[in-house]
Structure 1
Amino acid sequence: MQTDQDSKPKVGEFELLTAKQTAVLHLLAQGRTSKEIAALLDTGESAVNRHIEIKRSRLGGVTRLELARRYRNACPDAPSALRVDSAEQKIDLVAPPPTDERPDRDDAEADPLFQDSLTMKIEAPWAGQEEPVVVPRVLDGANATLTRGAAITIMVTSILASLVLAITAAWAITEALGG
């Protein structure tokens, strides 16, 4: 953390600067960005950043803002920082928002707003695909449940009849063989 003594310029901090370095620090003290400084000095932005970074590292890694502040304090010809004294006056940049009272939406007049709905029918992309027919067409139709129930009853009855017939045949063979 920096103290007040760190922000005070030391003797010789800004001596032995080249003309380009002085110009860069002078514009930095005015609050310009690296891109603006590069455009004003007809040099590259990386060169401007390099000048600033070299000076920052020589001063112990201070921030750009602190570098500009120290340069303003150390050099009498450095521009003063532009400041706005907002304690004395209040500047309204935007008109205050209108304060018209809107009625609540919970009254009876708001109810018809929900009747504006629109019914839409969207078919699924897979709805039109034909699936292979598993059930014979005889078991489909208006009375499909009745027809399928009758088919199941007939199949169960035939299975039971064949089972009874098989048991009767086995019993007859057992008695014929001497059982």
Structure 2
Amino acid sequence: MGDGEDDFTFATEKQRAVLELLANNRTSKEIAGALAVSEPAINRRIEVLRLRLGGITRHQLVRRYRNWRDRIALDAGSSVPCVENDDEFIQLGARAAFGKAGDGSDADETTARFRDSIAVRVDAPWAEEMPQPRVVPGMLDGSNAMLSRGAAIAIILLAILASLAVGLGVARALADIVNG
């Protein structure tokens, strides 16, 4: 066929669905997931289209489909005149009131209250002091923190030394067996 206007009129609905997703830079696996079909079925549909268009590459297939789709959209869009509509502008509400007493909210001077009741912070989120995350568990913190942490360090040290001794014992036993 060539680059004529009817390049993809022969394609079935399934093939067009695959081409549409392929034109959006999706992989075969993503297309298969989106269409709930197997990946080999997607690859077969693409291969049939490639062979039908003269054995072109997948990249060329996608480029031709995009060009064809754009031409069709341009032709369809050229028949509809461009109409400006001033009624579609978004109308903003009245100016926000900051921290009015008696409006039933717990707003302070940094919170804006709009007509549709959405609270918006005026200051940056990183400007206020955030509570620090707990680095150590509560068991190792408190009145006996120094003693608890020292005991935990000693227990961990003894566990490491014990595992080292067991490892050396196993290594010596294996060496005796090998030399044996």
- TM-score band, normalised by the shorter chain? 0.3 to 0.5
Q: Whose Rg is larger?
A: 1
Structure 1 length as normaliser, TM-score? Answer: 0.38
* Structure holding more strand per residue: 2
User: Which fold has the larger relative contact order, with Cα–Cα distance below 8 Å and residues 6 or more apart in sequence?
Assistant: 1
